[in-house]
């Protein structure tokens, strides 16, 4: 059994956790105390307040590269907050990595160089590619080594992303700066003539914990339980940025690339946000909202309309307060990005009422239902620990196949957080799924949950049912919570497609 972060932090062997050692008594007593303090079992359960900046730094747009490219993971420097500090990046002199942009149907040859001093790899989050190219946590590239990720892009247009996925070290590498966008285009999308060029803005939203020298990643035991959050919100690698806009429609391609923080995205002038796509690409029809939750790993394709605003108007993309995310998410509202209207230009753009020919799969075509209990902690009658960040009582083991799935079948998977008090964004590798139903908690699907997804947020008290059309990418894939502290702590299982 692999030593998990939770255990690493305590300095105790894995056995101690289950044999009545001091760690168990620590957990039990801590839990009892927390329960007396209002029923919270998050151990620390504290939120990390956000400090807003001045919104006077220009929003950078990551450079775009084709699918034959080199991504060189390295320790480097970046200017996030006004001074140059140490970060990780997929190139020299910058946090994050370039945006890979590709037409559907083409073949990639992505040369990964691991110039870090630790194991790493690349997972292409949202891509339906063979298991040996997917950046499985067991498929690691040693420091100083290279690997060529070669696959055919065989899916519709949409916003995916890439990030490291080495077992146990994903959270720290992502938090310190390793992530990038992967945009796929196709003919169906091109026919819509959506805003493009400077009117299509990619936004990687993350929270970081900054010191004068770098990005700090040192989660406490409590933060491994709740997820690690930062006080500084950065977009495309810069804290509290602004961007100038014209009086036109803009297409925002948004990724929540945070380890654990959920955002309740809204515009400060309470204008509409029109959701046109999500993890899996365009929705069938646009859906207009005032605010929308976006959890770690999820993406949003959203239209915003600055037409009719007077010059000099400032509109913020912000996160509105929400209170159903569990204690650690806090209940603070904060600004993320400032749009400054600096130029008037008429815009004839009209959003089509139908975006895509997508039709839902009939749920009755499912041949199997699988249930997954994702409560963070389950105490049995004898106060034995039966789960900390587990799925069905289990933590990740690369030598164990948890679910065996027949290729070309459809299945219903149910994530049950009905007894839990922490949010879990659940992510499946290798597939896109439909969200069928949510009971408990919010009790309904939200505007961004039509079409296809690869990550779905399961809030405390919720049971979420998804329909997964498995194709024929035979091999072993993982599925896990995309709170990266939970994932590194073992909240990840394997399915094998046979
Ligand atoms: Cu974005 Cu398995 O992860
Ligand atoms: Cu989780």
Contacts of 366 (CB under 8 A, 6+ apart): 410, 411, 412, 467
Q: Residue 487 CA: which ligand 1 atom is closest?
A: 2
Give the H/E segment covering residue 282: strand 281-289
Which residue's CA is the nearest one to ligand 1's atom 1? 125
Q: Find the 147 Cα to ligand 2 centroid distance in Å.
A: 30
> Which residue is associated with the tokens 């994702």?
374
Joined tokens for residue 414: 């149910």
Is there an atom of ligand 1 within 6 Å of 163 CB?
yes
Q: Find the 389 Cα to ligand 2 centroid distance in Å.
A: 7
Ligand found nearest the CA of 421: 2
**Beta-bridge mates of residue 435:** 466
* Confidence (pLDDT) at 220: 93
* Confidence (pLDDT) at 388: 72
Cα maximum dimension of the chain:
70
* Confidence (pLDDT) at 377: 57
How would you label 32-52 residue by residue, b for 16+ Cβ within 10 Å and e otherwise?
A: eebeeeeebbbbbbbbbebeb
Ligand found nearest the CA of 297: 1
* Confidence (pLDDT) at 24: 34
Ligand found nearest the CA of 481: 2
Q: Residue 297 CA: which ligand 1 atom is closest?
A: 1
Ligand found nearest the CA of 426: 2
Q: Compute the distance between CA of residue 175 and CA of residue 259 in angstroms, rounded to an integer.
A: 7
Ligand found nearest the CA of 388: 2
Provide the residue count of the chain. Answer: 498
Q: Find the 451 Cα to ligand 2 centroid distance in Å.
A: 23
Contact 281, 157 (CB under 8 A): yes
Smallest Cα–Cα separation from 363: which of 479, 465, 457? 465
Is there an atom of ligand 1 within 6 Å of 136 CB?
no
Q: Compute the distance between CA of residue 262 and CA of residue 258 in angstroms, rounded to an integer.
A: 8
Q: Find the 424 Cα to ligand 2 centroid distance in Å.
A: 4
- Inter-CA distances, 342 with 202, 225, 250, 269, Å: 20, 45, 14, 17
Is there an atom of ligand 1 within 6 Å of 125 CB?
yes
Is there an atom of ligand 1 within 6 Å of 427 CB?
yes
Joined tokens for residue 291: 């605010």
Is there an atom of ligand 1 within 6 Å of 424 CB?
no
* Confidence (pLDDT) at 376: 59
Contact 263, 294 (CB under 8 A): yes
Joined tokens for residue 403: 């679910």
Q: Find the 492 Cα to ligand 1 centroid distance in Å.
A: 10
* Confidence (pLDDT) at 359: 87
Is there an atom of ligand 1 within 6 Å of 128 CB?
no
Q: Find the 380 Cα to ligand 1 centroid distance in Å.
A: 31
* pTM flag (> 0.85): yes
Q: Residue 126 CA: which ligand 1 atom is closest?
A: 1
Q: Compute the distance between CA of residue 270 and CA of residue 183 in angstroms, rounded to an integer.
A: 29
Q: Find the 101 Cα to ligand 1 centroid distance in Å.
A: 19
Q: Compute the distance between CA of residue 21 and CA of residue 12 in angstroms, rounded to an integer.
A: 9
Q: Compute the distance between CA of residue 312 and CA of residue 316 in angstroms, rounded to an integer.
A: 13
Give, in degrees to the nearest 5, the angle at Cα 403 between 414 and 384: 75
Q: Residue 455 CA: which ligand 1 atom is closest?
A: 1
Q: Residue 492 CA: which ligand 1 atom is closest?
A: 2
Q: Residue 480 CA: which ligand 1 atom is closest?
A: 2
Contact 261, 322 (CB under 8 A): no
Q: Compute the distance between CA of residue 171 and CA of residue 5 in angstroms, rounded to an integer.
A: 10
Q: Compute the distance between CA of residue 15 and CA of residue 29 in angstroms, rounded to an integer.
A: 19
Q: Find the 422 Cα to ligand 2 centroid distance in Å.
A: 7
Torsion of CA 442, 162, 159, 53, to 10 degrees: 70
Joined tokens for residue 482: 């995309």
Ligand found nearest the CA of 424: 2
Q: Find the 297 Cα to ligand 1 centroid distance in Å.
A: 7
Q: Compute the distance between CA of residue 105 and CA of residue 307 in angstroms, rounded to an integer.
A: 36
* Confidence (pLDDT) at 389: 86
Contacts of 3 (CB under 8 A, 6+ apart): 13, 14
* Confidence (pLDDT) at 45: 63
Whole-angstrom Cα Rg for the chain: 22
Return the DSSP state at 310.
P
Q: Find the 454 Cα to ligand 1 centroid distance in Å.
A: 9
Backbone angles phi, psi at 191, to 5 degrees: -65, -20
- Taking the alpha carbons at both ends of the chain, their separation in whole angstroms is 26
Is there an atom of ligand 1 within 6 Å of 480 CB?
yes
- Inter-CA distances, 104 with 153, 452, 493, Å: 5, 17, 29
Contact 284, 355 (CB under 8 A): yes
Q: Compute the distance between CA of residue 121 and CA of residue 141 in angstroms, rounded to an integer.
A: 6
Which residue's CA is the nearest one to ligand 1's atom 3? 125
Q: Find the 491 Cα to ligand 2 centroid distance in Å.
A: 7
Write out the chain's pLDDT in tens, 498 residues: 344 544 444 333 333 333 323 333 333 333 333 333 333 334 456 789 999 999 999 999 999 999 999 999 999 999 999 999 999 999 999 999 999 999 999 999 999 999 999 999 999 999 999 999 999 999 999 999 999 999 999 999 999 999 999 999 999 999 999 999 999 999 999 999 999 999 999 999 999 999 999 999 999 999 999 999 999 999 999 999 999 999 999 999 999 999 999 999 999 999 999 999 999 999 999 999 999 999 999 999 999 999 999 999 999 999 999 999 999 999 999 999 999 999 999 999 999 999 999 988 999 999 999 999 997 555 444 444 444 789 999 999 999 999 999 999 999 999 999 999 999 999 999 999 999 999 999 999 999 999 999 999 999 999 999 999 999 999 999 999 999 999 999 999 999 999
Is there an atom of ligand 1 within 6 Å of 123 CB?
yes
Ligand found nearest the CA of 427: 1
Is there an atom of ligand 1 within 6 Å of 156 CB?
no
Q: Find the 126 Cα to ligand 1 centroid distance in Å.
A: 8
Contacts of 468 (CB under 8 A, 6+ apart): 410, 411, 412, 413, 428, 431, 433
Contact 317, 284 (CB under 8 A): no
Q: Is the dihedral of CA 76, 79, 80, 82 positive or negative?
A: positive
Q: Find the 489 Cα to ligand 2 centroid distance in Å.
A: 9
Return the DSSP state at 256.
E
Is there an atom of ligand 1 within 6 Å of 297 CB?
yes
Contacts of 391 (CB under 8 A, 6+ apart): 372, 373, 374, 402, 480, 481, 491, 492, 493
Smallest Cα–Cα separation from 294: which of 269, 328, 327, 319? 319
| Paired sense of beta strands 410-416 and 403-405, if any | unpaired
* Confidence (pLDDT) at 124: 98
Q: Residue 137 CA: which ligand 1 atom is closest?
A: 2
């Amino acid at each position: 059994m692999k030593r998990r972060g939770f255990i690493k932090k305590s300095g105790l062997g894995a056995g101690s956790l289950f044999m009545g050692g001091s760690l168990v008594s620590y957990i039990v007593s801590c839990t009892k105390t927390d329960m007396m303090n209002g029923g919270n079992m998050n151990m620390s359960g504290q939120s990390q307040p956000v400090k807003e900046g001045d919104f006077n730094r220009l929003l950078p747009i990551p450079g775009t590269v084709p699918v034959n490219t080199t991504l060189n993971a390295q320790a480097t420097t970046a200017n996030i907050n006004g001074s140059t500090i140490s970060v990780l990046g997929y190139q020299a002199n910058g946090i994050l990595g370039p945006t890979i942009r590709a037409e559907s149907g083409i073949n990639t040859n992505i040369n990964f160089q691991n110039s870090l001093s630790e194991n790493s790899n690349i997972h292409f989050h949202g891509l339906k590619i063979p298991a040996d190219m997917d950046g499985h946590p067991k498929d690691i590239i040693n420091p100083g080594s290279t690997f060529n990720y070669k696959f055919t892009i065989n899916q519709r247009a949409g916003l995916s992303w890439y990030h490291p996925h080495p077992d146990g070290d994903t959270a720290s590498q992502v938090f310190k700066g390793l992530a990038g966008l992967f945009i796929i285009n196709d003919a169906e999308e091109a026919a819509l003539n959506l805003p493009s060029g400077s009117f299509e803005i990619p936004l990687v939203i993350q929270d970081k914990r900054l010191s004068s020298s770098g990005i700090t990643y040192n989660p406490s035991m409590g933060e491994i339980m709740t997820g690690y959050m930062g006080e500084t919100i950065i977009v495309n690698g810069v804290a509290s940025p602004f961007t100038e806009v014209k009086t036109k429609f803009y297409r925002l391609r948004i990724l929540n690339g945070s380890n654990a923080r959920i955002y309740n995205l809204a515009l400060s002038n309470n204008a509409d946000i029109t959701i046109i796509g999500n993890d899996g690409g365009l929705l069938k029809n646009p859906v207009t909202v005032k605010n929308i939750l976006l959890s770690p790993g999820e993406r949003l394709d959203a239209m915003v309309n600055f037409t009719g605003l007077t010059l000099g108007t400032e509109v913020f993309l912000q996160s509105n307060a929400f209170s159903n995310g569990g204690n650690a998410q806090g209940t603070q509202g904060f600004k993320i990005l400032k749009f400054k209207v600096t130029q008037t230009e008429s815009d004839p753009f009209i959003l089509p009422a139908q975006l895509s020919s997508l039709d839902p799969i009939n749920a009755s075509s499912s041949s199997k239902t699988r249930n997954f209990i994702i409560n963070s902690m389950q105490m049995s009658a004898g106060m034995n620990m039966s789960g900390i960040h587990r799925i069905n009582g289990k933590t990740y083991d690369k030598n164990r196949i948890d679910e065996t799935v027949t290729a070309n079948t459809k299945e219903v998977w149910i994530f049950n957080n009905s007894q839990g008090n922490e949010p879990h964004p659940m992510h499946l590798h290798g597939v896109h799924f439909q969200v069928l139903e949510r009971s408990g908690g919010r009790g309904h699907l939200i505007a961004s949950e039509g079409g296809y997804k690869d990550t779905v947020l399961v809030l405390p008290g919720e049971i979420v049912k998804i329909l997964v059309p498995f194709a024929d990418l035979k091999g072993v894939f993982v599925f896990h919570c995309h709170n990266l502290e939970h994932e590194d702590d073992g909240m990840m299982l394997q399915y094998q497609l046979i």
